[in-house]
Amino acid sequence: MRKRFTAALSIAALALTLSACDGSSEAADTPDSTGAAVAAEIPQPERIPETCEAPDGGNLRIGLVTPNLQALFFNQINTGAQTIADEADVDLQIISANDDPIQQANAVENLVAKNVQAVIVAAIDTEGIKPALKAAAAAGVKVVAVDGIVEDPAVSTQVGTSNEESGAQMGEFLLEAADGDAGPVGIVGALNSTIQLERQKGFEDAIKSGGMEVGTVVDGKNVQETAQSSAENLLTGNPNLEYVYATGEPALIGLVSGVKNQNAQDRVSIVGWDLSDAAVDGLQEGYVKGVVQQNTFQFGYDAMTAAVDLSCGREVESTIPVPTQIVTPSNVDDYLYYLKK
């Protein structure tokens, strides 16, 4: 099974990587003086928006409310946003909600009280955040949603990927790689995250339609330590489990740690979301077979650019899509810049 999985994986990886729209020239390695491959640098923004004064004079003030400052994913969005803010001479305040939807809503309200011109939100709970965003829009503050889709008229622009669609792509990837094996497939999810529930749904629908069985689902709560203990419980309770899917960065890091702690690298094949040091180690060792990678820096560039444009009265598309790639053991060196903050 291990040999067949690897061969099929290469075919699926090629097809899905070719379908990505991120720009292969930016992700490709370049040789150094010894001929060894060197990971590409972080892609730079294509455009710096022209800024304007705040209504009361001085620099524009924009707030960004992120779920946490633990995940590399959110730190890279912050880096992208800060890059645009620095270049455009905009005052950016970044606030962590510490994975608490109530704290996130309160942070939005506090930013509105500070008379910011725009708020960027990576929503933890895409339904629960709506009252705070409605109040912000009613106060004349422009609202940009990044990563999680918030379906509400208060949001001027959505920046991100289709999480359900990308989850389905990973399901199709696993189906082809498993080459007819019916599973089951365990899942380490985050049942408190609407985004990760979308990723789980897309993945489950895809593998079930292809004949694979969804096995035990455990809740990592979007916290690495919880995800690790949940993953270890999953593996202990299912000693013959061969496939596991992780719906986000903390889930994948926790799952990789759990597999290593139980010395299960030879029997478990992992697929999941978002690169990290742990995920890259697993890809290089071969037991992590595929990782959906979002262009996180682009999330930050696009969200901040949209916030500036909206604050200055310029029209912005209501949806700004950002493509994903599937990173595999064969192409992981092309994407090592995602380990940078």
Q: What percent of the chain has pLDDT over 70?
A: 88
Average pLDDT of the residues in 40-45: 83
Check: CB of residue 61 under 8 Å from CB of residue 114. Answer: yes
Separation between Cα atoms, residue 144 and residue 123, nearest integer Å: 10
Least confident of 5-19, 46-60, 76-90, 187-201: 5-19
The pLDDT value given to residue 40: 61
Lowest mean pLDDT among 18-27, 94-103, 163-172, 285-294: 18-27
The pTM (predicted TM-score) of the whole model is 0.77
pLDDT band at 12 (very low <50, low <70, confident <90, very high): very low
Are 245 and 333 within one domain? yes
Which of 26-35, 131-140, 173-182 has maximum average pLDDT? Answer: 131-140
Is residue 111 located within the same domain as residue 255?
A: no
Average pLDDT of the segment spanning 92-103: 96
Beta bridge partners of 142: 118
- Whether the ω angle into residue 184 lies within 30 degrees of 0, i.e. cis, is yes
Sign of CA dihedral 24, 27, 29, 30: positive
Instruction: Enumerate residues 6+ apart whose C-beta is below 8 A from 11.
Output: 176
Residue 9 has pLDDT above 60, yes or no: no
Has residue 51 been placed in a domain?
A: no
CA-nearest of 69, 57, 60, 117 to 95 is: 69
Q: Can you tell me the mean pLDDT for 53-65?
A: 96
Asked whether residue 71 falls in the same domain as residue 175, the answer is no
Coil, strand or helix at 68: coil
| Domain hosting residue 194, numbered range | 2-38+163-294+328-339
Position 7 pLDDT exceeds 70: no
- Which residue is associated with the tokens 């986000």? 248
Give me 183's structure tokens. 């599973």
Residue 140 lies in a domain: yes
Say yes or no: 205 and 335 in one domain.
yes
Residue 45 lies in a domain: no
Residue 23 maps to a domain: yes
User: What was the pLDDT predicted at 33?
Assistant: 31
33 lies in the same domain as 174: yes
Tens digits of per-residue pLDDT, 218-270? 999 999 999 999 999 999 999 999 999 999 999 999 999 999 999 999 999 99
Sign of the alpha-carbon torsion through 305, 307, 313, 315:
positive
Q: Report the SS3 class of residue 140.
A: coil
Residue 60: φ, ψ to 5° = -60, 145
Looking at the fold, whether 137 and 174 belong to one and the same domain comes out as: no
- The verdict on residue 44 lying in a domain is no
Residues 334 and 222 in one domain: yes
In what side-by-side order are the strands of the sheet with 288-294? 214-219, 185-189, 243-246, 269-273, 288-294, 324-327
What phi and psi values does residue 185 have, to the nearest 5 degrees? -115, 120
Round to whole Å and give the CA distance between 42 and 339.
10
Question: How does pLDDT run across 229-242, given as a tens digit for each residue?
Answer: 999 999 999 999 99
Query: What is the Cα–Cα distance from 228 to 223, expressed in whole angstroms?
Result: 9
**H or E stretch at 271:** strand 269-273
Hey, how many other C-beta atoms are within 10 angstroms of the C-beta on 225?
A: 13
Residues 68 and 183 in one domain: no
Query: Is residue 46 domain-resident?
Result: no
pLDDT (0 to 100) of residue 173: 97
Per-residue pLDDT band for 148 (boundaries 50, 70, 90) equals: confident
Q: What CATH number is associated with residue 136?
A: 3.40.50.2300
Is the pLDDT score of 4 beyond 60? no
| Domain tally, the chain | 2
Asked if residue 22 is part of any domain, the answer here is yes
- The angle formed by the CA atoms of residues 11, 16 and 21, to the nearest 5 degrees, is 145
- Measured at the CA of 280, the angle between CA 276 and CA 284, to 5 degrees, comes to 175
Candidate from 10-19, 66-75, 79-88, 176-185 with smallest mean pLDDT: 10-19
3 state DSSP class of 280: helix
The pair of structure tokens assigned to 329 is 């053991």
Q: Are residues 169 and 285 in the same domain?
A: yes
What does pLDDT average to over the chain?
A: 89
Q: CA dist 263 to 153, 226, 235, 287, 301, Å? A: 50, 19, 11, 11, 40
Residue 130 has pLDDT above 80, yes or no: yes
Of 30-34, 161-165, 204-208, 222-226, highest mean pLDDT: 204-208
Select from 286, 263, 325, 333 the least CA-distant residue to 21.
325
Residue 48 lies inside a defined structural domain of this protein: no
For residues 16 and 314, the model is more confident at: 314
Residue 13 has pLDDT above 90, yes or no: no
